[in-house]
Amino acid sequence: MSLKSGQSRTAAVFIAPSLIPLVLFLILPMLAAGVLSFTTWDLLSPPTWVGFENFKALLHDANFRNALQNTLIFIAGYLPLVYILGLSAALALDRKFKGSMALRAAFFLPVITSWVIVALLWKWILNPNGGVVNSALHLFGIQGPGWWTSKSWAMISVIVPSAWKDLGWVMLILLAGLQAIPPEYKEAAAIDGASKRQILLHITLPLLTPASFFVLVISLINNFQVFDQIWIMTSGGPEGSTSVIVEQIVKNSFAYGKMGYASAMSMSLFAIIMAVTVIQIRLQKKWVNYA
């Protein structure tokens, strides 16, 4: 369907307010980062072209490897946790009862709260010295761990607040998915004698796969870029145990003045996210049920 010239103008007027900032603040900087990844630039003197040197150096960078590994560990811990919690909340709130709306709002509240506040709150909850959790453990005679000061516990200390903050968003998407499932399917299954567990496993969850797929794609894209909570709670420590890719990009660009190298990291991250997303889209045919 082609547009008439008048319609094109109208379309342009409506698209421009979002397209112009998108080009100026996203597309152009991305292209610039692409070019910069082939240079060395300390921000103070002009960039110098170095070809693929930054990408070659990345292959031998132990810090980048550690950051990539930690990012994957974060995702592996966060994703199942946030999905299970979000799904449980969605299933529990997929009915009307007194206070259900207030509960939905309460679960969603952390989503719209700044990471600075959430991270500081959890840093306090998990404070090794007199924090809420360790004080509670102490009542049972248990010596709590060092949480964000311990290299064994620091990643868990970041994963738990992340899942807590995002579960409201996952709940919302899954709740919308649950409400889109025609009730006739469940009713028919119940008449045929299916138990609640059977209905959940064989009707609800399969028909929820489009919403689950959406949650998976968006969560992976977001969490490969995990940064705020890490920066505020641990700054990548202790001993690099929570160092992640974006934290390395920020350090290399602004602290070390290695903007070209940091851009190469950004481009590599972009390629990883793109590859993971394409694989997910390809694989969806095998498990996502759009019936």
Q: Is 14 in the site for another protein (CB under 8 A)?
A: no
The upper half-sphere exposure of residue 273, i.e. CA atoms within 13 Å in the direction of its Cβ, equals 19
- Please, which residues bridge with residue 49 across strands? 39
Written as six digits, the tokens of 256 are: 């070390």
Kindly determine how many residues on this chain lie close enough to bind another protein according to the rule CB under 8 A: 25
| Nearer residue to another protein within complex by CB, 52 or 256 | 256
Q: Tell me the residue type at 169.
A: W
Q: Is 257 in the site for another protein (CB under 8 A)?
A: yes
Shortest Å, Cβ 239 to another protein: 6
- Please, which residues bridge with residue 39 across strands? 49
Q: Is 187 in the site for another protein (CB under 8 A)?
A: no
Shortest Å, Cβ 242 to another protein: 13
Q: Using an 8 Å Cβ cutoff, are 174 and 92 in contact?
A: no
What's the chain's length in residues? 291
Q: Single out the segment in contact with another protein by CB under 8 A; choices: 92-100, 215-223, 224-232, 256-264.
A: 256-264
DSSP 254: I
Q: Is 77 in the site for another protein (CB under 8 A)?
A: no
The count of other CB atoms within 10 Å of the CB of residue 78 is 21
The rounded distance, in Å, linking the Cα atoms of 128 and 146 is: 5
| Ranges within 200-229 binding another protein (CB under 8 A) | none
Question: Applying CB under 8 A, which of residues 34, 77, 210, 240 lies at the interface with another protein?
Answer: 240
Q: Is 237 in the site for another protein (CB under 8 A)?
A: yes
Q: How far is CA 49 from CA 36, 54, 167, 236, 257, in A?
A: 8, 10, 45, 30, 16
DSSP helix, strand, coil percent of the chain (3-state; round to 5): 75, 0, 25
Q: Is 13 in the site for another protein (CB under 8 A)?
A: no
Q: Is 43 in the site for another protein (CB under 8 A)?
A: yes
| Ranges within 122-181 binding another protein (CB under 8 A) | 123-124, 127-131, 146, 149-151
Sole residue written with tokens 């049972």: 140
Shortest Å, Cβ 166 to another protein: 24
Q: Is 239 in the site for another protein (CB under 8 A)?
A: yes
Q: Is 256 in the site for another protein (CB under 8 A)?
A: yes
Q: Single out the segment in contact with another protein by CB under 8 A; choices: 87-95, 187-195, 248-256, 270-278.
A: 248-256
Sole residue written with tokens 């979000």: 86
The separation between CA 50 and the C-alpha centre of its own chain, rounded to angstroms, equals 33
Q: Is 34 in the site for another protein (CB under 8 A)?
A: no
CA angle (108, 212, 77) in 5-degree steps: 75
Shortest Å, Cβ 149 to another protein: 4
| Nearer residue to another protein within complex by CB, 66 or 222 | 66
- Backbone phi, psi, residue 40, to 5°: -110, 135
Shortest Å, Cβ 254 to another protein: 5
Positions in the binding site for another protein (CB under 8 A): 42-45, 123-124, 127-131, 146, 149-151, 237-240, 251, 254-258
